[in-house]
């Protein structure tokens, strides 16, 4: 029997996501044995620094890419929001699967919403995007660094280290922890990260055989939305050092794309809301980046 090896991070969520893809591949390709190769990444190990200070999103994918280069794995499964907008030479996103809930959620034992939280109450997040949007609307709150996997972050909340934390809805749902969400933050209040809620499957660009096996997993609507969102990020620098959000929705043959960039303290936030042809998502993403530049994005982001 032929074998396909999936490189994955070791966290419970990453293993769930990789097994989810493995199950689909087993159903599609019964002649293959599908195995997981769990690996530890630098992003999982450096828990006392913000990602933008430690080296960026690539910290979550480099070890998985090395496994593919060395022939130890054939593909890797990622949360798209953790994947840099520019992949290293020789790699490709072979499939983007159907999106889960793209929203963020508030989790708290004390408060039902951010608006209910009193001055100086603490909110945990490691995301510049989240912290800037919270600071814009609720400058009285104390935003504090929170790193670690979903279970680690929830445990810190339970120990009373934070009054509330903000997580991705998709991660909670995939782990069967959906009931832990106190409030769902709508895009109007907390615009998601590019690709949030979607899974991406990466392989070597030269592995057309692997890409062909993965092709049935690709979701057309999600792919168009995520390609538009990631183009905004790529055009404006493409790293987690940017307080940047982008979220696209497919409506008939049109894409609605909302995007923002912000100063890290939330004192300056610029937004755009555009519509374009679903068949040209990258063009829409470039238009959105251009509109943000026109409003001063480069000055805010120091580009």
**CA–CA–CA angle 248, 252, 258 (5° rounding):** 20
Measured distance CA(7)–CA(77) in Å, rounded: 7
Measured distance CA(171)–CA(125) in Å, rounded: 14
Active site residues: 82
90: burial class by Cβ within 10 Å (0-12, 13-18, 19+)?
Answer: exposed
Measured distance CA(69)–CA(157) in Å, rounded: 39
Q: In sequence order, what E strands does the chain have?
A: 2-9, 32-39, 75-79, 91-96, 104-107, 122-124, 142-144, 164-168, 183-185, 199-204, 244-251, 254-262, 269-277
Cβ–Cβ < 8 Å for 60, 44? yes
Q: Tell me the three state secondary structure of residue 100.
A: coil
Cβ–Cβ < 8 Å for 167, 150? yes
Determine how many CB atoms are found less than 10 A away from the CB of residue 277. 12
């Amino acid at each position: 029997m032929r074998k396909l090896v999936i490189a994955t991070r070791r966290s419970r969520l990453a293993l769930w996501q990789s097994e989810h893809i493995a199950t689909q591949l087993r159903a599609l390709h019964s002649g293959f044995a599908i195995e997981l190769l769990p690996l530890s990444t630098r992003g999982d190990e450096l828990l006392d620094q913000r990602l933008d200070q430690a080296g960026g999103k690539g910290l979550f994918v480099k070890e998985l890419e090395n496994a593919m280069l060395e022939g130890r794995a054939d593909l890797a499964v990622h949360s798209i929001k953790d994947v840099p907008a520019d992949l290293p030479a020789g790699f490709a996103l072979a499939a983007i699967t159907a999106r889960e809930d793209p929203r963020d959620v508030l989790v708290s034992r004390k408060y039902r919403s951010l608006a209910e939280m009193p001055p100086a109450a603490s909110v945990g997040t490691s995301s510049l995007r989240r912290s800037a949007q919270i600071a814009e609307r609720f400058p009285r709150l104390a935003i504090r660094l929170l790193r670690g996997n979903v279970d680690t972050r929830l445990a810190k909340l339970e120990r009373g280290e934070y009054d509330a934390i903000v997580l991705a809805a998709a991660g909670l749902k995939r782990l069967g922890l959906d009931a832990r969400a106190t409030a769902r933050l709508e895009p109007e209040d907390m615009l998601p990260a590019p690709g949030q809620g979607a899974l991406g499957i990466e392989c070597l660009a030269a592995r057309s055989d692997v890409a062909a096996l993965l092709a049935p997993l690709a979701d057309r609507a999600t792919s168009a939305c995520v390609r538009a969102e990631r183009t905004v990020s790529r055009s404006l620098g493409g790293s987690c050092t940017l307080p940047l959000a982008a979220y696209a929705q497919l409506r008939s043959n049109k894409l609605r794309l909302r995007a923002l960039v912000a100063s890290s303290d939330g004192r300056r936030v610029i937004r755009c809301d555009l519509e374009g042809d679903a068949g040209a998502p990258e063009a829409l993403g470039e238009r959105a980046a251009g509109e943000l530049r026109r409003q001063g994005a480069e000055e805010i982001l120091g580009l």
